[in-house]
Structure 1
């Protein structure tokens, strides 16, 4: 990826618990544990295996992690994961965590794709989140379906959460929601219930293994998506969310389906346009950019999805 340039929602938002420094692993915060203890817990090493590692460590004069790798009792990925825990850099080290393979920033945090998302994060921190005192959410919009909005929104939310502040990714694609599938979370209630006044329980889900990241799924797919996001309740909800989270990322339907995306972007305050290499039509992309330029939303830029 390359950077180119009437119901009150508040009752449905439960207090957000402290994260990062307060995330506990067996009674201790991850950064308080030694590398060896983190590896032991992740690999479920026996006391006999621990003794083997310690003996090798003493004989060779190497670190615990190096000794464990040399003996085949841990991998380099295990050592990287243990280091990340000590530095409060949370990610999911393998697919068994239940995430989709599309969540490259969470499952492959040292890959080229994840580095691309971090570069985009840096641009957004300068262009959108740090320019003035106005709090903005950022809507991810694109001309057509299949451009990769959900993939992009989810991974952007992951890398924002890795900065340490509370990050929320909202599935506002009321026509074809997918965020809950990527994160492997339950989605029986969510945004549609809030906007229709039917939500009865807390609908914001904390993502396992990523303690700074939260998801607001769609819930039941409604028959009137554009009417729901045009109601005052959606603007009220966005203001409430911005008061509770450091960063809010919003997934949207493709612009080809209607006005949903531009309405959502206006309520968010900022928009990032996504196009797909070899697929997006220039005329539709130009029309979407022109529409956003004439809206209250701040246009953060255009991303070319090369994947």
Structure 2
């Protein structure tokens, strides 16, 4: 990870070690669905024959036949399909990842589909070849708007496209991404920005091959000063050279100007408000502040959950 030795002077940017680059997405081999299910469920030759006979008699697909005979589950069929179409998904994630990560634990749900629709809009409006490379800051007027939930799931669906995606937790007033992804929070962004030589701060998420997370680390007493220093802007530029997408979680605007400063350094912002909770005047003030900043405003999302 980049280290800034003197946070008060013009920061000196050290090379990023190759440990992040050496993490490669798991290779996925194209195989027939029947073969994938057979290997996953360890079906015997006799059981496979039963499935094939049922398939011929009923005129259904192998997966449907296996489910009908009780030799596989719907999750097993979805897993096989995800393997064929290179889509990161495993039923075991439901035990290993928190329920908040619905795009990972329930990737075929209506909620996950809504995140994919938002991803499509961002790919067309913001992440295009004609646009300059920008990190995306996710901001909200108040705590409790669902910003952390939204940011985490947006990062997951971006990583499911196959591009290397980094989620940076820059909410140094109330960090929570380390809890969502169950990561060690003893070191992270705050240490880098304060000039401490922290290593291995970018964490790879095992079940999501293209997703990485940079947690806050120790919660600092001076979060606004840390993001206002030149070091933060230099770090964002370096991360954009290493990752296809950089998504940044921020403190709620109610806590101060942190979010708008972070958005300006990132280059773009997406506002999240909560239905039935966010006040219109506070939302309008936040949008007006971002509109007058160097950040490109990608839009406003209404969180219905």
Q: Which residue of 1 aligns with 2:4?
A: none
Structure with bigger RCO (C-alpha 8 Å, 6+ apart): 1
Query: How many aligned residue pairs are there?
Result: 295
Q: Which residue of 1 aligns with 2:293?
A: 295
Which secondary structure state, in structure 2, belongs to the residue aligned with residue 188 of structure 1? coil
CA displacement, residues 129-181 of structure 1 (integer Å, 9 cap, x when unaligned): 11634100100000100001111111111111111111111111111111122
Work out the CA distance in 2 between the residues paired with 1:256 and 1:278: 17
Work out the CA distance in 1 between the residues paired with 2:252 and 2:214: 19
Contact 1:103 1:154 in 2 (8 A): yes
Between stretches 120-129 and 140-149, larger displacement belongs to 120-129
| 1:17 maps to which of 22, 28, 47 | 22
Work out the CA distance in 2 between the residues paired with 1:258 and 1:47: 65
Q: Which residue of 2 aligns with 1:192?
A: 190
User: Shift of the alpha carbon at 1:265?
Assistant: 0.3
Which secondary structure state, in structure 2, belongs to the residue aligned with residue 186 of structure 1? coil
Between stretches 263-272 and 225-234, larger displacement belongs to 225-234
TM-score (norm 1): 0.88
Work out the CA distance in 1 between the residues paired with 2:129 and 2:56: 53
Contact 1:92 1:210 in 2 (8 A): no
User: Shift of the alpha carbon at 1:238?
Assistant: 0.4
Q: Are 1:110 and 2:108 an aligned pair?
A: yes
Q: Which aligned pairs between 1:255-270 and structure 2 lie closer than 5 A?
A: 255-270=253-268
Which secondary structure state, in structure 2, belongs to the residue aligned with residue 278 of structure 1? coil
Q: Are 1:204 and 2:179 an aligned pair?
A: no
User: Shift of the alpha carbon at 1:260?
Assistant: 1.0
Work out the CA distance in 2 between the residues paired with 1:303 and 1:41: 42
Work out the CA distance in 2 between the residues paired with 1:220 and 1:122: 35
